[in-house]
Each structure stands twice: as C-alpha cells, then as structure tokens.
Amino acid sequence: MQNLNNIQNFYFIGIGGIGMSALARYFNATGKKVAGYDKTPTVLTRSLEAEGIQVNYEDEVGNIPQEYSNSNTLVVYTPAIPKDHKQHHYFIDNKFEIQKRAEVLGLITKNIFTLAVAGTHGKTTTTAILGHLLKETGAKVTAFLGGISEDIQSNLILNGNEVMVVEADEFDRSFLKLSPNIAAITSMDADHLDIYGKPEELLKSFRDFAALVPEDGILFVKNGLPVAGKTLGIEDDSSYAAINVKIDNGAYSFDLRTPNTILRNLKCFLPGKHNLQNAITALAIAIEYGSPTDQLAGALYSFKGVKRRFTYRIKTKDLVLIDDYAHHPTEISAVHQAVREMHPGKKVLAVFQPHLFSRTKDFVDEFAESLSRFDEIRLLDIYPARELPVEGITSRWLLGKIENPNKKLVVREDLSAEIKDSGCDVIVMMGAGDIGEMVPEVEKNMSHEN
C-alpha cells in the first residue's frame, strides 16, 4: 500500500454512503483530487458536488476521469456494490490500487491518537457528541461521523490532526482495521446476521475489537455488556454514571459521577434514555482524553443533534412529526420509550420501512413486538438495499405478526393521506432506507393541513 500522502487522486465507488462521503470530504479538504460514482443523486451527493467533488451516476468506464491512472490513484469501494460493477472491474483489470473504506480509514488512524466508538446502536450519535465536545473545548480534532451533525451540517469535523474520532462499524468486521487508543462499545445486540451467520460470531467480533485497545489505552463499555472495561450507565454503580436525572423543559438535567469527581448541572437536549447513555459515553471519553471538565457542560448544552436521530420536523402543541433512522427492534423500542417520555398521553403513529430482507427475516418477531407498542402502525415495503428479494419475506408477512390491530400496509404515494386520516397527534417515521426522502413531502402536507 502506498503512503496516502503520495497519492494524488482518490476515486470512490459508492461515494454517496455516509462513511464513504466523509472520507471523500477529508481527502478533498486536504487538497487531493476526488471523484466517484453512486447509483442515484441524493442530498449528500449534491453537497459533495457543491464542494467541488465530481460525482457520476452511471456505471460506465467512460465516466472515470481520464487523468486517473493506476500509478496516481487509490480506488476506495464499499462492500455493498454489486459483483458485476463495470467501473470496479475496470480498476481490477487495470491493476489499480483498490482498498475498502475501512482499510483506508484504518491507515489514517494508524499514526494519530484515535478515539473509536463501536456498537450496534448509538455509535453515530455518540461520535457526533464526542467530536462536538472536543471541538468546542479546543482540541485539534478530525472526526469521521456516521451521520450529518446538525451543528456543522456535515459528517466530517476538521479542526486539526492531533486526535481523531471515528465511528467503528461492525458491518463486514470493518472496525477490526482501526487502531484505537481509547474505545467504547455502546451495545452488542444481534444484527448483520447476513454477514456473521449467528449472534456468537458478532460477539466474538466485538471482543476482537476490544482487544485492539493497547495496554496503556482505555476501553469503555455500557454497564452489563459481556466485555471487561470501564463501565457507563444511568443511576447505577458504573465507573461513569448519570445521577440525579430529571426531565426539565424537554431536556435531561443530570450530574455525572466520575471515578474522581462529580460534574454537576449537565443538560442533554436529545430525547430518550438511549441518547442520555450516548452523552455519558461521549463525556467519559472526552474526560479520559483530557478535555477541560469545566467546559464540558457548555459544550454538551450547545449540541444540536444528528439528522434522522429523533429529529423533530414539526413540533407544535397539537402536532409532532419525528424522523428517525431506527431500523432494528432495539432502536424502535428506544424511539418508543423516548416518544412516550417526551409526549405523554398523545396518540402515536409509527410509520416504518423495514431495511433488508435478511434483517426482517432474522428479527421478524422482535420487530412485531416493538412496533405493536405504538398506537397505530403503517408499514412500507421492505427496502432491499444490497439484497435481492427472498420468497415469503415481505412487509405483509411482518404485518401479520403485529398483534396491535391498528395496522396497515401503505404505498409511498398514499402515505401523506394515510397519516392525515389516522388522526394521531405524534407521527414517527422510521427506517434506514429511502423513507428519509419521503419526510419532506409528509412534512409539507402536514404543515399545510395544520
């Protein structure tokens, strides 16, 4: 592998992915020439183009810039691309240097003090809070985020290169390429069984990740996880714990007990106990890194959140629309807890787009149980992403498992009308597919009716 500093051009296959686009932005900001392919234009790819990155949307070899040769170019790809991808095969046949996104991120972290957050849920919000805390308290930090921070409207924080914050992704065992000095594991629920086969293999992968932390490093774990490390929790005996937790004007007010002291009067504006846990994790890592503790309360107070992580699109006395990335039963349950806590007594409609046939098949009973807790449920068709359909695995099959009778299958074209007809006070739209692209139109129609 060449030294990244000596490479002039970077070409990304799947540049519109959240992790890929952060890398593309990083190399573009450091003066490299960056281009790439993605299947369809999105808000994210258009923002990359606005930053001067060339993006093409047809898988044709002729769309690769002519000046990109095998001697001056590194090709970065996502494992989600199809096996018959023409551009990918062109790069292979012409002996270009080709690396997975995780391998490139691993090379970047190798020589920089790295703070890595892993977990099947919570890692995106935690890395965003952590990057924000470090930046606001003066650290020279670069942070690769798995979501768009509302504070900077980007998934990349560039504020120097003394410390790096990365989201450690368990998909395809990507996080095993990293070199973390301080790491955290937020959760280890079964997921990605299309990759791992069985939950035990996923747990082994997390233990392998934990083993990457050097002897002079620190590993944090959510209290109760089967991995040894400094524990994190809420109102318990953890090494770092939120205590005296109250809800004050829609925000969590709490104190943080650390091994050495108590930080008082902290506020977190992100709804849900899962987000309070994310904030505790970010605070603990920042403290152990050496952030000035007297500035952390102000930094946390100013954090605005991550797009599609319990994002309020409408929030009035009579009507609420929430957009969330939840695509796993545990995440749906966390959203349910948050919405009941923040909007007690309100009638809540869940609109859910299942993500992947394999995940729907593996967790159908858990999905049915978590969705049944809402007052009403509307299901969209399964978003296939990288997968081909599986016979019998459909949203109608999932719908049949949901015990709540107030349920219905809907198509995209009828969604706004269905939401209006439900008469619910709070609407939560959840999923990791393209449901996020449906939210603006729903918001527009709801605002118009309101």
Residues contributing to the annotated binding site: 119-125
Determine the Cα–Cα distance for residues 75 and 6; give it in Å rounded to an integer.
Answer: 14
Helix (H, G, I), strand (E, B), or coil: what is residue 75?
strand
The torsion defined by the Cα of 36, 39, 44 and 50, in degrees rounded to 10, comes to: 50
- Transcribe 229-297 into DSSP letters: SEEEEESSS-SEEEEEEEEETTEEEEEEE-SS-EEEEEEE-S-SHHHHHHHHHHHHHHHHHT--HHHHH
* CB neighbourhood size of 400 (10 A): 11
**Under 8 Å between Cβ of 109 and 166:** yes
Give start and end residues of each alpha helix (H) in 16-71: 18-29, 43-50
Contacts of 345 (CB under 8 A, 6+ apart): none
State whether the Cα torsion 438-439-445-448 is positive or negative. Answer: negative
**Measuring CA to CA, which residue among 88, 98, 131, 105 is closest to residue 27?**
105
Annotated binding-site ranges for ATP: 119-125
Of 177, 140, 85, 149, nearest in space to 306 by CA: 149
Cβ neighbours of residue 71 closer than 8 Å, sequence gap 6 or more: none
| Residue 346 · residue 254 · CB < 8 Å | no
Sequence-distant (6+) residues with CB within 8 A of 249 are: none
Task: Write out the E strands in 141-229.
Answer: 141-149, 154-158, 163-168, 182-185, 218-222
